[in-house]
Amino acid sequence: MGASPSSTPSPPVASEASVEVSQSGISTCGLTRILLTSRLETTDLVIFGASGDLARRKIIPALQTLDGKIKGLRVLGAGRSEMTTGAFRQLVAEASGNDRLASTADWIQLDYKSQDGYEDLRKLIKKDRSVVFYLATPPQTFADILAALNASGLSGREAGHRIVVEKPLGQDAQSARKLNAQLGELFSEDQIFRIDHYLAKDTVQNVLAFRFSNSIFEPVWNRTMVQSIEITAAEEIGIGNRAGYYDRIGAVRDMVQNHVLQVLALVTMEPPATFDPADIRKAKLELLRAVEPLDPDAAVRGQYQGYLNEDGVDPDSRRETYAAARVQIENWRWDGVPIFFRTGKALRRQSTEVVVRWRDAPQLAVAGRKQRPIPTLLVIRIQPDEGITLRIGAKRPGPRFEMVPAGMKLEYRRLARTPLPDAYDNVLREVMAGGHTVFPGGKEIERSWDIVDPLIESWESDGHPELYEKGSWGPGAADDLLAGRAGDRWVNSGDEPGTA
């Protein structure tokens, strides 16, 4: 028989080495070694797809924070675009604002399947340098790039060589396992970095510090005290110019399989043995193995009105732009606790947050009149306006005993000595240092697909999504998931404290 919730294992002690204050002034778990590193080893960063949108907007700008901390950091761009080295250096200068970094950059034009360009790349890489291969390309190119790296002698388990791959990591569990096998043939697990930029956000990393460094929360973080948990990942914008990608993928593959389930794991996992990346990965994987595959009968799919009129979208598309579901975790800590998530595009406001709702206190009988208890909520805001709010009930000042909602609010930006780093700043720092705190392991990816695949298969074979208005909170059917439980409605970003 397992231990009772009140006797769950004690969290690891937050020692100076495990939980410290980063340059941003925010507690982090396992990142301090990286964030405070003054100078790292000499590195060549090879970006496949370096002329693309992701490289321009996220990867190259993040290199500005690394320059000076990595001896001789050099960027090598590789891709199919017809571009001169001079033009690529201009791109790097504009994207990073760093002329020194741009002056040492090189461009290699290549077909991902052809060996010719890879031979040119091999000649540019010196043997005494650490090499990071960053695949900022569509997932259908991964196999070709991996095969060409192997054939040209650029892959292997040599010390310092690493590979970074962006989501989506597969289309389903089968393809994810195939990709992991392909990566594993050429690189060891500690050389592979699978990007989930949500994990690199300071606020997501701080979930572990918040849970396990504050002793008042662990005793009430279980099925005995928690009534429900909600995870919201809402976007105001529609699909923009990503129709070709999004109409193939949809909300579940784009957000749930990775971001949502990773946040869920951090919020609900057992205390890791230590804050080392391997122990954190182990605790997350154990939690994900306890999550039941998603039930189509406990899920809602939606599509915003006007989606079919977006350029590049199939006019008969049934692709979901919104997904919500009830999640069940079959373990001692969370048995019977309803956990809900929702994610979508063209919603009322940009908001990613976690809401932990504790069980209501008994009704208060004051002066012969019963008062409905004020819900006790913990809201962890991941973006925007990063922070934590504890919503409680308090007596209104005055002679009458009247309960009103009140909130205690922590704003991360007020703690920070410098602006909060972008997630990709943290991603690249950890890659260069060889750490894995902000990267899910291959087994986590595979298990996440096992969880979402039944829902995807059901939706792709039957029915149509419910339409919802742009600027709303999504389909009305999503409210029915919570009906009769968990407070009866979602806690929406912007709600006043205690009004949920």
> What is the distance between the alpha carbons of residues 117 and 140, in angstroms, rounded to a whole number?
19
> What is the distance between the alpha carbons of residues 317 and 160, in angstroms, rounded to a whole number?
45
- Distances from the Cα of 427 to the Cα of 31, 198, 202, 432, 436, angstroms: 10, 10, 11, 9, 9
| Active site annotation includes 259 | yes
> What is the distance between the alpha carbons of residues 466 and 324, in angstroms, rounded to a whole number?
12
- Name the token pair of 459: 């939706």
* Among 197, 259, 436, 464, the one annotated catalytic: 259
Looking from the CA of 58 toward its CB, the CA atoms found within 13 Å total 17
The DSSP 8-state label assigned to residue 230 in this structure reads E
Looking from the CA of 41 toward its CB, the CA atoms found within 13 Å total 16
The DSSP 8-state label assigned to residue 40 in this structure reads B
- Provide the residue type at 212 as one letter: F
Phi, psi of 243 (to 5 degrees): -60, -40
Active site residues per annotation: 259
